Amino acid sequence: MSSKIDAYIDCVSPYSYYALVYLRRNRKALESHGVEIEFHPIFLGGVNVGSGNKPPWTLPAKAAYGKYDGQRATRYFGVEPIKTPDFFPILSIMPQRCMIYIKNNFPREKYETAFLSLSEWMYHKNIDISKPEKLAELLQSHGFSKEDIEKILAAASTPEYKQALTDNTQKALDLGAYGAPWFWVRNKEGLEEPFFGSDRFAFMWQYLGLPFQDISIIENEKAKL
């Protein structure tokens, strides 16, 4: 049986951004071992409500710690430092619905690079991509035609794509999600388990039975002298 990583992510989540960057960076290696990756747009606000969780910025201790952890994560994953915009957090429903439409109607690469840009524009360019006109600019920068963009934005208001985002979010909740990124992983034996966050990939690789190099401390040779 083939292995698969189903990643449930929301552009409003910085850790979803890191996971998207990291898994795409390692896709070729994962596919060489028969591991498929699929990214599913969800509404993190709905996951928080459905699970009873609270966003980190609403808890003073988590918010204070997040300043340190965010800096460490950007260095580790090799992305530009995140600057929390004044308009954060956004209501991500509209862009997330648009991503489902793009996923259903365009090639995978175009879908994933557009999804990645949601976070890049918000955290690096200080652009509120929850505003239709700004999201349209983002999509235009990825080569979507004017007609395509009109269809994408219109789809976000249709019952079909409203329900699609609700269904994705409920699916994540049914799989035990209480935040994002949330992963549901199937290994080659057909066994399935959840993983949470962007700092548990070593556990995931172990579960998938993949050969990998774990972090190791290099001994200081000068200390032996």
What integer pLDDT is reported at residue 218 of this predicted model?
86
What integer pLDDT is reported at residue 66 of this predicted model?
87
Residue 66 lies in a domain: yes
Please indicate whether residue 57 or residue 37 has the higher confidence score (pLDDT). 37
Tell me the per-residue pLDDT of 71-98, one tens digit each, with 9 for 90 and over: 999 999 999 998 888 998 899 999 999 9
Q: Is residue 129 a contact partner of residue 122, using CB atoms and an 8 Å limit? A: yes
For residue 13, indicate whether it is catalytic.
yes
Residue 31 lies in a domain: yes
Give one DSSP letter per residue of 120-162, joined into a string: HHHHHS---TTSHHHHHHHHHHTT--HHHHHHHHHHTTSHHHH
Residue 193 lies in a domain: yes
**Residue 52 domain boundaries:** 3-212
Residue 223 lies in a domain: no
What integer pLDDT is reported at residue 214 of this predicted model?
85
Tell me the pLDDT band of 56, cut-offs 50, 70 and 90: confident
Whether 126 shows a pLDDT value over 80: the answer reads: yes
Residue 224 lies in a domain: no
| Span of 26-35, 67-76, 97-106, 109-118 with lowest mean pLDDT | 67-76
Alpha-carbon gap, residue 35 to 27, rounded angstroms:
8
Q: Is residue 136 a contact partner of residue 153, using CB atoms and an 8 Å limit? A: yes
What's the average model confidence in pLDDT over 144-164?
98
Whether 225 shows a pLDDT value over 70: the answer reads: no
Name the residue among 221, 181, 225, 224 with its Cα closest to residue 37: 181
Q: Can you name the residues that pair with 194 across neighbouring β-strands?
A: 184
Tell me the pLDDT band of 136, cut-offs 50, 70 and 90: very high
Residue 35 φ/ψ, nearest 5 degrees: -105, 120
Residue 169 lies in a domain: yes
Q: Can you name the residues that pair with 184 across neighbouring β-strands?
A: 6, 194
Whether 122 shows a pLDDT value over 70: the answer reads: yes
Residue 225 lies in a domain: no
Distances (CA, A) of 187 to 40, 100, 150, 178: 19, 26, 40, 22
Report how many domains make up the chain: 1
Tell me the pLDDT band of 104, cut-offs 50, 70 and 90: very high
**Catalytic residue chosen out of the listed positions 2, 3, 13, 92:** 13
The CATH number that applies at residue 193 is 3.40.30.10
Whether 224 shows a pLDDT value over 80: the answer reads: no
